[in-house]
């Protein structure tokens, strides 16, 4: 199953089609051999009776193996499709797939810790829900995860949907900023862009990281 799990969708499709063709071919071989053995009356065919029996056996065995292979590759295709659907659903709903969560949590737990503010785009309930999930991820990884302070200017726009990381000075970024970017972008393959710091974010300290959230 380990080797099968490494097969891409296109390769699995090729093997699935081959297994379907093999099922048909071995089934046809069995039928031809069986009919020939049953109904051929000439001495020429009777002399080949043992060969026809062997071919019939090969046909039956091959058909069974090909049918099993067809089932296995079909199941693997279903697994790939389920994974792709989960990924699409996650991107649309502003969540992460279980695989992404697992990779992200392990990476963040081993990263340097510090203050991480999580702020949602203003006047957007979906972004607020998404931000709550993101803040929990950092809190579970033992970061000092905080919501945007009250009575501070709201984030009206992040420039694009998704996640963005902000630091006060990119030339003197906090020690946990780059590892966070690496965990999201490289380990978990969750896009975390680098945002442009503005005066609207003047409540973010020099050693703090801000994650801006805008639901897709």
Q: Please tell me whether residues 192 and 108 are part of one structural domain.
A: yes
* Cα–Cα dist 134/45, whole Å: 75
Q: Please tell me whether residues 52 and 109 are part of one structural domain.
A: no
Q: Please tell me whether residues 10 and 102 are part of one structural domain.
A: no
Query: Which residue among 72, 93, 114 closes a domain?
Result: 93
Domain of 8, in residue numbers? 2-93
Residue 161 has a pLDDT of 74
Q: Please tell me whether residues 114 and 207 are part of one structural domain.
A: yes
Q: What share of the chain in percent tops pLDDT 90?
A: 28
Residue 93 has a pLDDT of 44
DSSP state of 193: E
Q: Please tell me whether residues 77 and 112 are part of one structural domain.
A: no
**How does residue 29 score in pLDDT terms, banded at 50, 70 and 90?**
confident
pLDDT tens per residue across span 38-72: 666 556 655 666 676 777 788 778 888 878 888 88
Q: Please tell me whether residues 71 and 140 are part of one structural domain.
A: no
Query: Which residue among 46, 62, 93 closes a domain?
Result: 93
Tally of domains in the chain: 2
Q: Please tell me whether residues 184 and 145 are part of one structural domain.
A: yes
Q: Please tell me whether residues 206 and 102 are part of one structural domain.
A: yes
Q: Is the pTM of this model over 0.75?
A: no
pLDDT tens per residue across span 76-124: 777 777 666 555 444 544 567 788 888 999 999 999 999 999 999 888 8
Q: Please tell me whether residues 163 and 206 are part of one structural domain.
A: yes
pLDDT tens per residue across span 164-173: 999 998 889 9
Q: Please tell me whether residues 24 and 83 are part of one structural domain.
A: yes
């Amino acid at each position: 199953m380990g080797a099968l799990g490494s097969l891409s969708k296109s390769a699995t499709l090729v093997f699935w089609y081959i297994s379907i063709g093999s099922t048909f071919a071995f089934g046809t071989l069995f039928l031809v051999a069986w009919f020939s053995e049953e109904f051929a009356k000439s001495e020429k065919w009777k002399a080949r009776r043992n060969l026809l029996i062997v071919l019939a056996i090969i046909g039956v065995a091959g058909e069974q193996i090909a049918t099993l292979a067809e089932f296995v590759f079909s199941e693997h295709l279903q697994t790939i499709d389920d994974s792709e659907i989960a990924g699409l659903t996650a991107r649309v709903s502003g969540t992460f797939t279980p695989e992404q969560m697992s990779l992200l949590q392990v990476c963040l737990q081993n990263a340097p810790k510090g203050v991480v503010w999580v702020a949602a785009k203003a006047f957007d309930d979906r972004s607020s829900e998404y931000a709550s999930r993101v803040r929990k991820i950092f809190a579970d990884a033992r970061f000092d995860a905080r919501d945007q302070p009250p009575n501070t200017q709201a984030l009206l726009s992040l420039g694009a949907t998704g996640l963005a990381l902000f630091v006060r000075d990119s030339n003197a970024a906090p020690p946990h900023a780059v590892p966070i970017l690496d965990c999201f972008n490289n380990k978990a393959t969750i896009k975390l862009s680098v945002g442009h710091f503005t005066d609207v974010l003047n409540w973010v300290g020099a050693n703090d990281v801000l994650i801006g959230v805008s639901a897709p």
